[in-house]
Amino acid sequence: MKHHLLLLILAYIYIPSWGQNQSIYYNSYKEKNEDTNYFNTNIPKREVRAVWLTTIGGLDWPHSYSQSERSAQKQKTELCHLLDLYQQAGINTILIQTRVRGTMIYPSAYEPWDGCLSGFPGKSPGYDALAFAIDECHKRGMELHAWIVTIPVGKWNGLGCITLRKKFGNLIKKIGIDGYMNPEDARTGDYLAKICAEITQNYDIDGIHLDYIRYPEDWKLKVNKEQGRAYITSIVSKINKAVKPVKPWIKISCSPIGKYNDLPRNWAHGWNAYERVCQDAQGWLRDGLMDELFPMMYFKGNNFYPFAIDWKENDNGRIIAPGLGIYFLSPKEKNWPIEEITREMQVIRQLGMGHTFFRGKFFTDNTKGIYEYTKNFNAYPALVPAMTWEKKVPTDTLYNIYASNQYPVNTADARNLVIGRIPKKELNHYLQKVSSYHYAITRMDRFGNETPWIEKKSYAIEAQQKLDIVKRKIFNIF
């Protein structure tokens, strides 16, 4: 298996022009709808395609403040526009920054409002941004995961940090000008579990996404590494116990350091999850504490591919969607050529993993053409992989729509998927767009398990086919 993966990677790395050709192939395929290219016929039906939507300082959203009914609507409209762009590029998972720095984008019983929405820390924007984002994502067939920044709580004199210092005193430790929750204090896990429970109970989220669930890199560790990992794992375990008994279909995930540990032939250059910051992310998959990982793989070449294989080989049947540092495409950052990213996208797809973009604005700004490339790369929608490891319980039902000019519609063919995981109230909206085709609707539970439901034959297509036959006969006569 390892030998096969190595050959696959070498094939991609040493074909520098492949990414450019692939864009042409995809455009041609979409026009002709023919099996002319291997990669088009192997687009996966199930794959995580995600974006980190950063709210701190309005980096990705919002770019205006909500201080009146009119300005609130402007803020909502901007988010809807971004979600439309994501949907058009095949994105199916939105990781929206929900707990920012000890502050929130929803009305919480534990922490104050973040200032990114209203312009004033602690002040309501006049609406519940998390609830709005969930509804809009679900309308578009997207999952929404609440991105929780765990250990950092912002500037020492910022509202979030001050609030927690008053509440917990010495639980908050100062490093430089910032405050951090002490991962070695049991109250940290208890408190973060309460926050995740609040979100789980009050919102129809699809995931809890833990960011910075590790020791700060400048923390002076006074315990051994094994004990340090035990402290971090204890926090993860408490969050799992607060979420899963309530809604077991909610995916618990994190964004670990992109290199899990040093590999036999590849050194992590002193920056890895397991040893450097006591983050045993692969162990959390193995032990059932997490369902999904979004490793921050903002690297290239030998710093990327061997470590990508390592994540895949240790996924324990769970979901891996590596984070790609598309911000490095910017001339203001590292000015990477787009081929660095497109090659990584191709390799991790062939390895059976998804892809996640950091961050949203660089994506929708089409930096170096990454948005247009992704629209071609994700030529068809994809369902998120099913949580086959979870024990099934009754859930509400979601729906997937497939359409084709062939009957019966092949629902196993990714190219026939029109939209996935939509609530029943959205069915008519999308069915209007496929009414002239044969179509099929399947039902899906919140774990992603799919079952057949309705098949509809289009007599309009049959009539057109009969007319074409008549035309051909007439043409042959003359």
| pLDDT at 7 > cutoff 60 | no
Question: Residues 362, 320, 258, 79: is their CA dihedral positive or negative?
Answer: positive
pLDDT value of position 25: 28
DSSP character string of 337-376: -HHHHHHHHHHHHHTT--EEES-HHHHHTTGGGHHHHHHH
Neighbours of 90 (CB within 10 A): 18
pLDDT tens-digit readout, 365-397: 999 999 999 999 999 999 999 999 999 899 999
**Model pTM?**
0.91
Which residues share a beta bridge with 159? none
Question: Residues 217, 219, 223, 228: is their CA dihedral positive or negative?
Answer: negative
pLDDT value of position 17: 36
Overall average pLDDT of the 115-142 stretch? 98
pLDDT value of position 32: 33
Q: How confident is the model at residue 438 (pLDDT cuts 50, 70, 90)?
A: very high
E-only strand ranges, 336-475: 355-357, 398-404, 417-422, 438-444, 450-456
pLDDT value of position 41: 58
pLDDT value of position 21: 35
Q: Is the peptide bond before 62 cis (omega within 30 degrees of 0)?
A: yes
Residue 252: closest CA among 270, 236, 272, 266: 236
Which residues share a beta bridge with 263? 266
Residue 295: closest CA among 355, 344, 252, 238: 355
Give the strand order in the sheet containing 398-404: 417-422, 398-404, 438-444, 450-456
pLDDT tens-digit readout, 47-91: 999 999 999 999 999 999 999 999 999 999 999 999 999 999 999
E-only strand ranges, 166-318: 172-175, 178-181, 207-211, 251-254, 292-293, 296-297
pLDDT tens-digit readout, 299-354: 999 999 999 999 999 999 999 999 999 999 999 999 999 999 999 999 999 999 99
pLDDT value of position 102: 98
pLDDT value of position 464: 73
Q: How confident is the model at residue 460 (pLDDT cuts 50, 70, 90)?
A: confident
**Cβ atoms of residues 96 and 55 within 8 Å:** yes
Helix (H) or strand (E) holding 431: helix 427-434
> How far apart are the C-alpha atoms of 39 and 450, rounded to whole Å?
25
Amino acid letter, 76: K
Amino acid letter, 162: I
Give the strand order in the sheet containing 319-320: 296-297, 323-324, 355-357, 49-53, 93-99, 143-149, 207-211, 251-254, 292-293, 319-320
Amino acid letter, 473: K
